């Protein structure tokens, strides 16, 4: 898979508020599907679909323990998002500094 396609999968995966909430919940540690699903008002099959999207984007890892599927956060792929956001932070800091100078009457 190309780097662009992989980054696209990550952005798609975190575009959904339920998937972001699942990731937030896994920050405290691994959890079985049943425990993850219990936190939401959607069906367990819907949560399984969300977990599948997160797994394909390599944002979570799955392993089996008996009959349970246990999910854990795999945060390395979030670096794609962090790098993208960082480029905008630099952009906005420069623009806000320019706006401040303009408003205060300072020459550029």
Give how many domains the chain has, as a whole number: 1
**Residue 107: per-residue pLDDT:** 60
Residue 27 covered by a domain? yes
CATH of the domain at 54: 1.10.10.10
Range of the domain at 7: 3-75
Residue 101 covered by a domain? no
Residue 12 covered by a domain? yes
**Residue 44: per-residue pLDDT:** 93
Long-range contacts of 6-12 (CB under 8 A, 24+ apart): 6/57, 6/58, 6/77, 6/80, 7/80, 7/84, 9/56, 9/57, 9/58, 10/57, 10/58, 10/59, 10/77, 10/78, 10/80, 10/81, 11/80, 11/81, 11/84, 12/53, 12/57
Please tell me which residue, 44 or 7, carries the higher pLDDT value: 44
Residue 70 covered by a domain? yes
Residue 92 covered by a domain? no
Entry pTM? 0.75
Residue 63 covered by a domain? yes
Average pLDDT across the chain, whole number:
86
């Amino acid at each position: 898979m190309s780097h662009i396609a992989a980054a696209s999968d990550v952005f798609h995966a975190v575009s959904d508020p339920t998937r972001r909430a699942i990731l937030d919940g896994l920050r405290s540690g691994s959890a079985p599907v049943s425990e993850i699903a219990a936190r939401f008002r959607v069906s367990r099959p819907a949560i399984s679909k969300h977990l599948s999207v997160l797994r394909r984007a390599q944002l979570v890892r799955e392993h089996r323990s008996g009959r349970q599927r246990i999910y854990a956060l795999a945060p390395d792929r979030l670096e794609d998002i962090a790098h993208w956001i960082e480029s905008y932070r630099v952009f906005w800091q420069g623009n806000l500094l320019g706006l401040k100078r303009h408003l205060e009457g300072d020459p550029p």
